[in-house]
Amino acid sequence: MSRKRKIVIGIGVLAVVIVTALSLAGREGDEVLVRVEDVGRRDLVARVTATGHVEPKTSVDISADVSGRIVELTVEEGDDVVEGQLLLVIDPARFEAAVDRAEAALADAQAREAQARGNSQQAQRDWDRIRQLKAAAEDMVTDSEYEQARTQAEVQQALFESARHGVDMARASVREAQDNLSKTVIEAPMSGRVTRLNVERGETAVVGTMNNPGSLLLTISDLSIMEAVIEVDETDVPEIEIGDSTIVTIDAFPNREFAGRVTKIGNSSIRPRSQMQSSSEQAIDFEVRITLNDPGVDLRTDLSATADVVTAIRPDVLAIPIIALTLMDPSQFERIPSEAEEVQQVSGASSDTTAKDAGDAASSEPIEGVYVLEDGRARFRPVEVGIAGDGYFEVLSGLTEGETVVSGSYQAIRDLEDGALVRVEEQKDHAGPPRVGDSEG
C-alpha cells in the first residue's frame, strides 16, 4: 500500500470518528437531565392544615344588668367556682330605695282601688233604687234623674276598673324593682373556673346599650372539654366533614400531639364580605371547631394551635410524586400509545381510559398528566388523579404499576416536551418525598 493511500484512509477514518463524536455530543447536548421514579402503591392520607386557638367548649361571659359600684368581690382569676356561688355585689342602696318606692306606690294604688270600689257599689245601689221606683210609679222619677243615676253607675264602675288596673301596674313596678335589686348580687351560672376577671372592688359596672357595650365583668369556663377553633380557607371547607379525625399541635406543648374530631363547621364566613375594607382583603375563612379527646394536660384558653384534619385515607393505591404532575396545552400534545397501552388496547382492558385520553386531547382545556420514560424519551401521558397525600397523588387512571415517570426536577418537567430525549440523573438518597410546595406554579 502506497503512502498516499494510507494517508487518504487515515483521513477518512479520522473524519468518521469526528462525525461520530460530534453526533454523540449533539445527542447528549439535546438530552434533558431528569430524575425518575417508578409508579408504585402507597398508603395516602389527605389532610387540611389550618391554625387557630384553644378555648373551652362551654364558657359564660358575665356582664352587669344594672349599673353601680362594685362593693364586694369574692373571687380571683383562676379560682374554681360552683353553680350558685356568690361572685360579686353591686351597691344595692338605690335599688332598695326603688323597691320601697314601688311598694309605697302599690299601697297607694290599692287604697284608690278600695275607694273606687266603694263609689262604684254606692252608684250601683242608687241606680237600682231609681230603676225600681221608675218601675213602680213612673211619675215619681223623671227621665233626667233616671238617666243621671244610670250614667253615674257606669262612670263609677269604669273608675273602679281603672283603679284595679292601677294596682296591677303598681305590682309590676314592685316586681321590676325587686328584680333590679336581685341583679346587684351576681352568682355563678355554672361550675367551672374564672378564666378572666376584668374588674376590681370599687370599680363601676356599666350596662351595655345599643352603641356602647357594657362592662364584661368576668368569664367562667368549663375546662373539662376543650376545643381547637381553627380558620379554614373557603377552598378547603368542602373537603371537611363532621366527625373527621384530627391531630392538633399546641405551641405551648411542642412535643405533644392531641387527637380530636371535627364537631362543628361554620355555615357563614368569619368576616363577611360586607365588612372588608379593601379589595386586597379577599381571604374568606370559615370557623371549624375540633373537640379534643382527653388532652391529659391542663390547657388554657387562647393557646395557639395548628390542626391537621384528615379528610380522606386511601390504603395501597397507585401513586405518583406530586411534582411529577404537570399541564400541557392540547395543541402541543400528539397521542402516542406506549407498548403497555397497545397490549391493553388489544385486550380491551383500557378502552375507557383511551377514550377519555382522546377526549382530553381534543379539549381546549390544558391536559393534566405526567411524562413517562419510554426508550430514553419522555412521553406525555394524560392521567386522572385523586387525593393528594404527603408528597404523592393518588392515580385513578392513565398509568399502570411499575411504569417509570419523570419526577424532577421541577424546572426540567416544566421545560420538557413530548418525545424529548432524557438522561436519568444518578439516584441519590433523599431525606423524604418531594414537598407539596414543589408542585406549585
Confidence of residue 376 (pLDDT cuts 50, 70, 90): confident
Residue 180 has pLDDT above 80, yes or no: yes
What's the rounded Cα separation, in Å, for the pair 104 and 108?
6
What are 360's three cell numbers?
382530553
Stronger pLDDT, 441 or 342, i.e. the higher one = 342
The sign of the dihedral angle between the CA atoms of 124, 130, 133, 135 is: negative
Which pLDDT value is given to residue 349? 45
Residue 200 has pLDDT above 50, yes or no: yes
Residue 167 and residue 191 share a domain:
no
Confidence of residue 390 (pLDDT cuts 50, 70, 90): confident
Q: Is residue 348 part of a domain?
A: yes
Angle at CA 32, nearest 5°, toward 31 and 34? 135
Per the CB < 8 A criterion, the answer to whether 260 and 292 are in contact is yes
- 409 cis-preceded (ω within 30 degrees of 0): yes
Residue 255 and residue 233 share a domain:
yes
Q: Is residue 370 part of a domain?
A: yes
Q: Nearest-CA neighbor of 216 among 228, 203, 227? A: 203
As beta bridge partners, residue 291 has 227, 261
Stronger pLDDT, 343 or 197, i.e. the higher one = 197
Domain containing residue 194: CATH number: 2.40.50.100
Task: Give Cα separations from 178 to 8, 9, 85, 100, 214 (angstroms).
Answer: 126, 125, 20, 9, 22
* Averaged pLDDT for residues 127-153: 87
Residue 79 and residue 190 share a domain:
yes
Angle at CA 317, nearest 5°, toward 312 and 321? 90
Which pLDDT value is given to residue 350? 46
Is the backbone of residue 318 left (phi > 0), alpha (psi -120 to 50) or beta? beta
Which pLDDT value is given to residue 276? 62
Residue 87 and residue 136 share a domain:
no
In the block, cell 494517508 appears at 7
| Domain count for the chain | 4
Q: What is the pLDDT of residues 38-65, one digit of tens each?
A: 999 999 999 999 999 999 999 999 999 8
Q: Is residue 58 part of a domain?
A: no
What are 433's three cell numbers?
418525598
Residue 281 and residue 201 share a domain:
no
Residue 192 and residue 70 share a domain:
yes
Residue 302 has pLDDT above 80, yes or no: yes
Q: Is residue 19 part of a domain?
A: no
Host domain of residue 246 = 224-313
Where would I find the beta strands (DSSP E) of 293-366? 304-321, 326-328
Stronger pLDDT, 208 or 248, i.e. the higher one = 248
Residue 159 and residue 114 share a domain:
yes
Q: Is residue 423 part of a domain?
A: yes
The total of other beta-carbon atoms located within 10 Å of residue 378's CB is 24
Q: Which of 313, 339, 361 is the last residue of a domain?
A: 313
Task: Give Cα separations from 421 to 83, 326, 370, 414 (angstroms).
Answer: 77, 18, 15, 14
Q: Which of 214, 236, 267 is the last residue of a domain?
A: 214
Residue 74 and residue 41 share a domain:
no
Stronger pLDDT, 193 or 276, i.e. the higher one = 193
Domain containing residue 384: CATH number: 2.40.420.20
Q: Which of 271, 290, 313 is the last residue of a domain?
A: 313
Rounded (10°) CA dihedral 248, 252, 254, 255: -90
Per the CB < 8 A criterion, the answer to whether 421 and 361 are in contact is no
Residue 206 and residue 71 share a domain:
yes
Q: Is residue 13 part of a domain?
A: no
Residue 362 and residue 417 share a domain:
yes
Residue 353 has pLDDT above 60, yes or no: no
Q: Nearest-CA neighbor of 428 among 28, 36, 39? A: 36
Q: Is residue 308 part of a domain?
A: yes
Residue 431 and residue 319 share a domain:
yes
Residue 322 and residue 432 share a domain:
yes
The sign of the dihedral angle between the CA atoms of 8, 12, 17, 19 is: positive
